[in-house]
Copies of this chain bind each other. A is one copy, B any other.
Amino acid sequence: MIKPRTPPGVLELLPREQIAFQRMLDAIRGTFEAYGFLPVETPVFELTEVLLTKSGGETERQVYFVQSTGALEKSGAALPELALRFDLTVPLARYVAEHEHELAFPFRRYQMQRVYRGERAQRGRFREFYQCDIDVIGKDHLSIRFDAEIPAVINAAFEKLAIGEFTIQFNHRKLLRGYFEGQGIDGERQLLVLRELDKLDKRGEAAVAATLAGEGFDLDAEVVERLLAFARVRSTGHDDALARLDALGAGTPLFEQGRDELRQVLAQLKALGVPEHRYALNLSIARGLDYYTGIVYETLLDAHPEIGSICSGGRYDNLASYYSKSKLPGVGISIGLTRLFWQLREAGIVGAAESSVDVLVALLDDADLPEALALSQQLRAAGLKVETQLEPRKLAKQLQYADRAGIRFAVIRGEDEAARGVVAVKDLRRGEQFEVPRTGLADALREALA
């Protein structure tokens, strides 16, 4: 006898949790499709040669390699031929480059699949987790208007998920770097300063200020104070965001380009009707180091800032330089749904859902089976999700089962009800029981569920 267990670092759910998770996936998929994104799925493994072109360092150390038994026996020093994807961005780059001549640009794709990273086993760290990504990829050129549409998608997705109020915060890498430029910080050092400001949340202002004034950076105290003041900028409301951009004063061309794009994004968010309490400038957001080149986004749950960003992304200059000579600029975001679900469950915000089954058709007597089956089929034809109790049990047991399983309605048809052409319906959510004419049952249940 082998002890049945999952490997460490995976999140496996019981059915009612899986239903809750599936509803989140469906809500996200529905939003992505509402905004005209097209589905893509890629294989779980890529050729190692293709997957590891771009990465190096930390990522490569976390890659899982795949090989069949035959290959194991023959394996020498070379890396295995296949490796599991560690994100959805490298597969997207490969996909777009491979199918470049079959795709229409700007190419709007969504992808919701699991990715794999050999993380150190740790509570809340997953080796297998869902990413839900959208990206728009242009050919040669991609208008800032696509960057401005992204927060509207984030807003619609989290509104639909209904996990609490949230704020989409954004910044612009050119605004940041242009501001540094204006402070006399040159190209190389801009990235180093950016990396330090990115640590403000973790390290606090005093520690970051000390680093920036210290050896290596040697920035004047005044410059450091200006950088910190800049990074402290947060807007509250649409007009305030515009005013704060104005208040930054004149800057270098790079800075002005960033500011201009932020203004365009703000104008478009207003035209899209995104509620203004849902978006804000946050000039401390930097998001990593090399990949992003324009707008960067983070999304925070207002009541749970400790969870960190639940949806992040930004603009990048060239998606697939390792696979294609074409210039493919893009903008995208990612929701790490496995980690988010786990955190929401820890915080008591999500948990076991009501069942996906709407109705349990009870069975009191073997002789009633044909009628129970026919009734079940009628309800299914009306679009309801139905479990038929196939073996008679005491009614109390059947109701208890439905209740524990999270099935909202139980339909009961005893001799008495049959004689009167009605069925009894027990609403287990409300704890009520009512009678409906048999012919009106499907409509009554559909109405109650709507």
Q: Which residues of A contact B (CB under 8 A)?
A: 1-7, 10, 12-16, 18-19, 21-22, 33-36, 38-47, 49-50, 53, 60-70, 72, 79-82, 84, 93-95, 97-99, 102-104, 108-109, 114, 116, 118, 128, 143, 145-146, 149, 152, 156, 268, 271-273, 320, 322-325, 355-357, 360, 369-370, 373-374, 377, 380, 384-388, 390-391, 401, 404-405
B118 touches A50 (CB 8 A): no
A356 touches B39 (CB 8 A): yes
B102 touches A388 (CB 8 A): no
> Once bound together, how far apart are the Cα atoms of A149 and B21, in whole Å?
27
Q: In the complex, what's the smallest C-beta–C-beta distance from A297 to chain B, in angstroms?
A: 18
User: A7-B81, A47-B5 given as contacts; is B69 within 8 A of A61 (CB)?
Assistant: yes
Q: In the complex, what's the smallest C-beta–C-beta distance from A67 to chain B, in angstroms?
A: 6
In the assembled complex, which residues on chain B have CB atoms less than 8 Å from the CB atom of A70? 61, 118
A62 touches B66 (CB 8 A): no
Which of B7, B18, B94, B271 has a CB less than 8 Å from the CB of A46? Answer: B7
Which of B4, B149, B370, B374 has a CB less than 8 Å from the CB of A98? Answer: B4
B2 touches A323 (CB 8 A): yes
| Closest chain B residue to A6, Cβ basis | B43
A34 touches B271 (CB 8 A): no
B35 touches A15 (CB 8 A): no
In the assembled complex, which residues on chain B have CB atoms less than 8 Å from the CB atom of A80? 72
| Closest chain B residue to A48, Cβ basis | B7
B390 touches A149 (CB 8 A): yes
Q: In the complex, what's the smallest C-beta–C-beta distance from A310 to chain B, in angstroms?
A: 21
> Once bound together, how far apart are the Cα atoms of A386 and B156, in whole Å?
13
Number of copies: 2
User: A36-B386, A370-B271, A387-B108 given as contacts; is B7 within 8 A of A43 (CB)?
Assistant: yes
B384 touches A34 (CB 8 A): yes
In the assembled complex, which residues on chain B have CB atoms less than 8 Å from the CB atom of A391? 143, 145
| Closest chain B residue to A107, Cβ basis | B15
B1 touches A405 (CB 8 A): no
> Once bound together, how far apart are the Cα atoms of A337 and B150, in whole Å?
33
| Closest chain B residue to A274, Cβ basis | B377
A63 touches B68 (CB 8 A): yes
In the assembled complex, which residues on chain B have CB atoms less than 8 Å from the CB atom of A149? 388, 390
Q: In the complex, what's the smallest C-beta–C-beta distance from A258 to chain B, in angstroms?
A: 20
B7 touches A47 (CB 8 A): yes
In the assembled complex, which residues on chain B have CB atoms less than 8 Å from the CB atom of A50? 2-5
A386 touches B145 (CB 8 A): no
Known: A7-B43, A65-B66, A72-B80. 6 other contacts (CB 8 A): A4-B97, A7-B45, A18-B38, A18-B39, A33-B356, A65-B72
User: A68-B64, A369-B271 given as contacts; is B38 within 8 A of A19 (CB)?
Assistant: yes
> Once bound together, how far apart are the Cα atoms of A65 and B65, in whole Å?
8
In the assembled complex, which residues on chain B have CB atoms less than 8 Å from the CB atom of A4? 50, 93-95, 97-98, 320, 323-324
In the assembled complex, which residues on chain B have CB atoms less than 8 Å from the CB atom of A5? 47, 50, 94, 98
Q: In the complex, what's the smallest C-beta–C-beta distance from A116 to chain B, in angstroms?
A: 8
A65 touches B69 (CB 8 A): yes
> Once bound together, how far apart are the Cα atoms of A36 and B401, in whole Å?
13
> Once bound together, how far apart are the Cα atoms of A405 and B109, in whole Å?
13
In the assembled complex, which residues on chain B have CB atoms less than 8 Å from the CB atom of A6? 42-43, 46-47, 94, 98
User: A104-B405, A373-B268, A377-B272 given as contacts; is B42 within 8 A of A12 (CB)?
Assistant: yes
Q: In the complex, what's the smallest C-beta–C-beta distance from A119 to chain B, in angstroms?
A: 9
A-B contacts, 10 of them at CB < 8 A, read A2-B323, A6-B42, A14-B103, A65-B67, A72-B79, A104-B405, A143-B391, A145-B390, A268-B373, A273-B377
> Once bound together, how far apart are the Cα atoms of A99 and B18, in whole Å?
14
